[in-house]
Structure 1
Amino acid sequence: MFKKLLVSSLALAASVNAASTCNKTEFAITSQSDLDALSSCTTLTGDVILSSDMVTANLNGIETIAGSLTASNSSTLTSIIAPDLQTITGTLNLNTLTILDTISFASLSSIGAIDWITLPHVTGLSFNTGVTSCPSVYISDTSLTSLDGIDLSSVTTLDLNNNLYLSEVSMDLSYASNSIDISFNGNSATISFPSLLWANNLTIQDVESVSIPKLSTVNGSLLLINNTFTSFEASNLTTAGGITIDDNDELTNISFPKLTTINEAGLEIANNSQLDDLSGFPVLKTDNGALTLYGDFDNATFPDLTLVKGAVTVKSTGDFSCATFNKMKSSSNIKGSKYTCSAASSSTSASSTSTSSSTHAASSSSAASTTTSSSSAASSSSAASPALVGTSSTLVGGILAAIFFGVF
């Protein structure tokens, strides 16, 4: 009996010890031996923080980290390897690791968030199984050439910026509840989201090509700025909170064949030096915000547009006519208090002013002619009166003389 109690007590003590070993608020790792002491824990509950003095970090045996894994501000750490790790519920936080060149997580498929900043020697990832679940991804200032090993179907946030060797971003992403921002990566970067249907905000900057064939809704804003693509098409986009297309120096064609509604953020197309035709919105009916068009364009036709709720500012240095916009304004289809439309050539607004001036001049001329005629007539009448007065005076004088001499 005593032996059984002793065995049970020892087993319980071992269990309590194992639990305390594998469950802490924070695991402060200062050496590889600290990690080796945790290799019997399939699950670590708590945040794992690697010391900046470590050279390599091998997390063997650990399958789940119920917390975050962090390494930061190290000039000695060269590799992080976790062959059995499948899940990190918190953030995989790698920040300012100046000589790190190996990130190897052969079994990893789920991460709460990726936050990687300043990893100048990381060129690729060894994610053999592939990460398919990670709501938030922020990767900045690395030497990654691709994101092979990360393929997500939905995200809250995807932000890839200033990864100067990242030449391709391709994901089977269908939904982004907050934002997608791909900015200032490799000079010839190509973006492909073949399954993307809905995004709250989508920002594309300094990109050579974009493919979003199924995108139907951008709830917030679509921003296309400083890109090098020659053509942009959103073939299935029907609704956007706002669209900005600015400073794309090689852009010659835009196409939004199904877009019917733009909401409060409005439409802005400005300073795209090669874009001379803005007629890529054939069925746009409603702009609930402002409409701003700047550039050297000849054509800005919106055949179905019947309502702009905000201000309208159109300025072209090309051979452009303001007639359509003037008509919209006069018909009260432009509700905003500010309306400006001008072009380098004689625009309709300028012509309207000239026409009004000419009509006024003609009316003035006509009035002047009438006045002159009346004056002439009046002068003629005035000239005839003295003659009549003279004749009457002579006649009266004669009669008086006859009467006088007849009597006397």
Structure 2
Amino acid sequence: MVYSYQQKMIVSKKHLVFVCLLLLMLSAQLSVAQSCLPQGIVFTTQQQIDSFQEDYPACTEIEGWVAINGNEINNLYGLSVITSIGHNLGIVETEALSNLSGLENLQYIGGNLVITDNPALLSLAGLSAVEMIGGDCIIGGGWEYGNANLASLDGLENLVSIGGDFEIEENPVLSFFNGLNSLISIGGYFNIRDNENLQSLIGLENLVSIGGYLGISKNENLINFEGLNNLTNIEGNLKIGFYFNHGGNPNLKSIEALSGLTHIEGSLLIHSNTKLDSLTGLENLTSVNGNVEILNNDALTNLNGFNNLEYISGNLIVEMNDSLIDLQGLNKLKLIDGSFKMGDYAGFAVNQSLTGFLGLESLDTIGDSFTIHGNNSIEDFSGLDALRFIGGSMTVVTGFDSLAGLNSLETIGDDLFIMYTRLKNLEGLDALSSIGDSMHIINNDVTSLEGLNELESIGGNLNIRDNSQLVTISGFENLSIIGGGLYLENNKNLNSLDGFDRINSIAGDLSITFSPALPNISGFDALNSLGGSLLIGDYYAFNNGNISLVDLTGLENLTSIGGDIDIQYNPALANLSGLNSLHSLSGNLFIYKNHALSFLSGIESISSIGGGIGIFDNDALQNMPQLENLKDIGGNLRICNNEILEDLSGLDSVNSIGGDLLIGNKYWDGNPSLFSLEGLANLKTIGGVLEIYHNIALLSLAGIDNINPLSITDLIIQHNHSLSQCEVASVCAYLLDPQGDETILSNAPGCIDVEEVKTACGIGSVNESYLNSQLAIYPNPASRQVYISAGDFEISSVYIYSITGQRLLVDELSKGYFDISALHEGIYILETEIENICLRRKLVIYNFN
């Protein structure tokens, strides 16, 4: 066909119009899909919303966040072009907004959706196109009142997933969850709290998985969990109620809708749901990877619902369930990896109606501690017959007539506490062979400890205390190892220790205090080593010790004590027989207030004491010949207030004391019958104070003549009313060159004060004082030789002694100096004789190289 010119022009114009129209359409589409506002936007007035499309033409995809917050805002129609929000959408404190109409085109929220404190909001209509929220979804739970009139979640019908947490809190008229029917998964936790009118969870039927915890608490009218029927997996905790601040669901009666739940990654916490009478609905749980806590559920009578539960990786805590009768429902439970706890030390967390452990027949292992406290209706442990192992401590406090039911228990990894029970014996622990740490049997009604016959070792202390009916220790016949101390304290009727026959060593202390019926210590026939201290009596003097104890028979094979011996407040103790095999003592020896003790028979073999000796207030003690083999005392020697002690015979072999020598003391008083110190004649050195105080019969200090004066730090001679002779060599030498304080007063004439004693010693004459002023020793400290001069006087001889008094060198200074190169570094005493007068000085030798 051939077109005319006009026809061609018409076709060209039509074609041009079509092309222009096409370009305009493409441009319009591009402008509709335009992203905008990366910094976000805040709407505080209705005018801002109404003019949005004019102010931001073609803005449909907001990159930043959107905040809607203003009391006059009553509709969102001006936002109808928005299809996505890249960050958060917050609708907060809008007093006039009743729904969300205007957001029908919004399909995607990249951040959080927060809707709270909107008192006029009735529904969420307007969000029907939203399929995904990338962050959290928070509805209610604001600073003031949540969404006070929100009655429905209609508007979220197409929401499939929430990437973060989901909180529905403080929406007081919300009764159901209709509107969430498409929701399949929540990436974070799901918290349903304080929605007063909520009756069920209908509307959540498609919810399958929760990535965090599920918390349902303080929903006053919630009756059941209908709506969660398809929930199979919770990656965090399941919290039904909350113990603090009345956080339960007070009208919750059923959790049957959880019957599809097969996995809880965290803990299962069922707290303070006062009408919940059954746990039916948890039958598909075979394990819980955290704790299981059943607390303060007053209507719960058993634990049926846990019928397939075999493993708890955390703790099992069952407390304050007042109607709970037994533990039926846990019949398949084999392993608790953490602790099993029923009750607390305050006695508040009890299960008042619980009569036993029926329901735990399969429980084999508790990985950590087992605590039963304050459940007074429980008579025994029937139901725990398969329990073999407790990895931590076991604590049984109050109640219980028997330990029957624990017959398979072989090992307790930590402490065993049995306290304040009605038990008469420990039968039921017949298979128990080891306790990893300490065993405490305190304030029970036991008369014997029968039932521990297989126990071989205790890793820590054995503490048997305040059992007023206990008569005998029998029951420990196979116990051979105690890794800590053994403490027998305040058992008023205990009259025999037979039962410890196999113990050969105790790593810690052996303490036997306030056992008024105990006549001796027979029963320790195999004991040869004690790592700690031996305490016989009452350390604190509250209970007057062991009033029937007459000797220490039973300790004849004890050869080593690593700590102290404290023998205190035993009024009938006549001697120390029983300690005859003891040759040395690492610590101190204290013998205090044993009013019948007349001899120290039993400690004749002791030759050294690493610590000190304290002998106080023993009214019948006359002398101490049984200490005749004692040579060294590492600490103080204190002999005070022994009423009829006449002399110190028995200490004749002692040549050194590492600390103070106190014969009487202003705090403990003196020895009123002591008249002689001759028993200390061989004592050469002490390492502290020399104190002779208030020994009213003492006449002379003869006996302490040989103490090196340089070993005395202070001298006290006071209130010895018959003492007239103080001028013994050690005292005179000290007063000549005192190393510390010198106190002499209130003694008899001849020893009234320091000046009188100095005069008696011949100290202070003109000749001697002048000679002292002329004597020069240099260098001091010295290294290889020392020069000595005395002015115009001739030095006839020079002696060097060790600090203990041993003569080491003699020289007549023929070379003009004293060669000391053969001596080691240290402190020595240099003595010169000038004009028949001996002068002493301290000499320090030091190797300057």
Query: Matched residues in 2 for 1:191 and 1:299: separation?
Result: 33
Q: CA deviation at 1:104?
A: 1.7
Q: CA deviation at 1:18?
A: 4.5
Q: CA deviation at 1:219?
A: 1.8
Instruction: Count the aligned residue pairs.
Output: 346
Residue 128 and residue 338 in structure 1: after superposition, are their counterparts in 2 closer, same or farther (change >3 A)?
closer
Aligned residues of 1:190 and 1:207 also touching (Cα < 8 A):
no
Matches within 5 A, 1:27-38: 27-29=214-216, 31=222, 35-38=225-228
Equivalent in 498, 501, 509 of residue 282 of structure 1 = 501
Which residue number corresponds to residue 108 of structure 1? 309
Residue 281 and residue 324 in structure 1: after superposition, are their counterparts in 2 closer, same or farther (change >3 A)?
closer
Query: Matched residues in 2 for 1:128 and 1:236: separation?
Result: 30
Matches within 5 A, 1:219-298: 219-233=436-450, 234-240=452-458, 241-254=460-473, 255-264=475-484, 266-294=485-513, 295-296=515-516, 297-298=518-519
Query: Matched residues in 2 for 1:84 and 1:228: separation?
Result: 45
Matches within 5 A, 1:113-132: 113-127=315-329, 129-132=331-334
Aligned residues of 1:55 and 1:79 also touching (Cα < 8 A):
no
Residue 320 and residue 119 in structure 1: after superposition, are their counterparts in 2 closer, same or farther (change >3 A)?
farther
Q: CA deviation at 1:165?
A: 0.8
Which residue number corresponds to residue 197 of structure 1? 410
Which residue number corresponds to residue 267 of structure 2? 68
Q: Secondary structure at the match of 2:236?
A: strand
Q: CA deviation at 1:327?
A: 8.2
Aligned residues of 2:394 and 2:415 also touching (Cα < 8 A):
yes
Q: What TM-score, normalized to structure 1?
A: 0.75
Residue 153 (str. 1) matches residue 153 (str. 2): no
Q: Secondary structure at the match of 2:399?
A: coil
Query: Matched residues in 2 for 1:235 and 1:327: separation?
Result: 24
Comparing 209-218 with 318-327, greater Cα deviation is found at 318-327
CA displacement 1:374-396 (0-9 Å, x = unmatched) = xxxxxxxxxxxxxxxxxxxxxxx
Gaps of 5+ in 1: 1-12, 365-408
Which residue number corresponds to residue 599 of structure 2? 352
Letter in structure 2 aligned against 1:231: S
Matches within 5 A, 1:155-194: 155=366, 156-170=368-382, 171=384, 172-186=386-400, 188-194=401-407
Query: Matched residues in 2 for 1:323 and 1:341: separation?
Result: 16
Residue 101 and residue 86 in structure 1: after superposition, are their counterparts in 2 closer, same or farther (change >3 A)?
same
Q: CA deviation at 1:24?
A: 2.8
Which residue number corresponds to residue 305 of structure 1? 527
CA displacement 1:24-46 (0-9 Å, x = unmatched) = 3121335455x333322344332
Q: CA deviation at 1:323?
A: 4.6
Q: CA deviation at 1:346?
A: 3.9
Residue 137 (str. 1) matches residue 345 (str. 2): no
Query: Matched residues in 2 for 1:192 and 1:314: separation?
Result: 37
Q: Secondary structure at the match of 2:237?
A: strand
Letter in structure 2 aligned against 1:152: L
Letter in structure 1 aligned against 2:536: V
Query: Matched residues in 2 for 1:358 and 1:66: separation?
Result: 73
CA displacement 1:202-259 (0-9 Å, x = unmatched) = 1112141432222222121011112223221322222212101111222223221122
Query: Matched residues in 2 for 1:124 and 1:183: separation?
Result: 19
Equivalent in 276, 287, 294 of residue 94 of structure 1 = 294
CA displacement 1:170-200 (0-9 Å, x = unmatched) = 42222222111111134x2434422222222
Letter in structure 1 aligned against 2:478: K
Query: Matched residues in 2 for 1:244 and 1:56: separation?
Result: 47
Which residue number corresponds to residue 285 of structure 2? 85
Q: CA deviation at 1:157?
A: 1.3
Q: Secondary structure at the match of 2:623?
A: helix
Aligned residues of 1:325 and 1:341 also touching (Cα < 8 A):
no
Query: Matched residues in 1 for 2:223 and 2:481: separation?
Result: 58
Residue 351 and residue 154 in structure 1: after superposition, are their counterparts in 2 closer, same or farther (change >3 A)?
farther
Aligned residues of 2:480 and 2:503 also touching (Cα < 8 A):
yes
Matches within 5 A, 1:295-334: 295-296=515-516, 297-301=518-522, 302-315=524-537, 316-325=546-555, 328=558, 333-334=560-561
Residue 356 and residue 214 in structure 1: after superposition, are their counterparts in 2 closer, same or farther (change >3 A)?
farther
Give the structure with the larger strand fraction.
1
Query: Matched residues in 2 for 1:361 and 1:271: separation?
Result: 35
Query: Matched residues in 2 for 1:196 and 1:337: separation?
Result: 37
Give the structure with the larger helix fraction.
1
Letter in structure 1 aligned against 2:310: S
Aligned residues of 1:322 and 1:347 also touching (Cα < 8 A):
no
Aligned residues of 1:250 and 1:273 also touching (Cα < 8 A):
yes
Structure with the larger RCO, 1 or 2 (CA within 8 Å, 6+ apart): 1
Query: Matched residues in 1 for 2:236 and 2:646: separation?
Result: 86
Q: Secondary structure at the match of 2:599?
A: helix
Gaps of 5+ in 2: 1-159, 162-181, 187-206, 242-247, 344-349, 538-545, 577-596, 601-619, 626-644, 650-674, 676-849
Q: CA deviation at 1:130?
A: 3.0
Comparing 289-298 with 129-138, greater Cα deviation is found at 129-138
Q: CA deviation at 1:292?
A: 0.6
Letter in structure 2 aligned against 1:44: I
Q: CA deviation at 1:324?
A: 5.0
Identity value in percent: 20
Equivalent in 208, 212, 219 of residue 25 of structure 1 = 212
Letter in structure 1 aligned against 2:235: T
Q: CA deviation at 1:325?
A: 4.8
Letter in structure 1 aligned against 2:379: S
Q: CA deviation at 1:276?
A: 0.6
Q: CA RMSD in A?
A: 3.0
Comparing 295-304 with 203-212, greater Cα deviation is found at 203-212
Comparing 266-275 with 106-115, greater Cα deviation is found at 106-115
Residue 90 and residue 227 in structure 1: after superposition, are their counterparts in 2 closer, same or farther (change >3 A)?
same
Aligned residues of 2:332 and 2:363 also touching (Cα < 8 A):
no
Q: Secondary structure at the match of 1:144?
A: coil
Query: Matched residues in 1 for 2:334 and 2:476: separation?
Result: 31
Query: Matched residues in 1 for 2:302 and 2:409: separation?
Result: 31
Aligned residues of 1:191 and 1:207 also touching (Cα < 8 A):
no
Q: CA deviation at 1:60?
A: 2.1
CA displacement 1:45-102 (0-9 Å, x = unmatched) = 3211224124213232323322222122344444332333332222121223344434
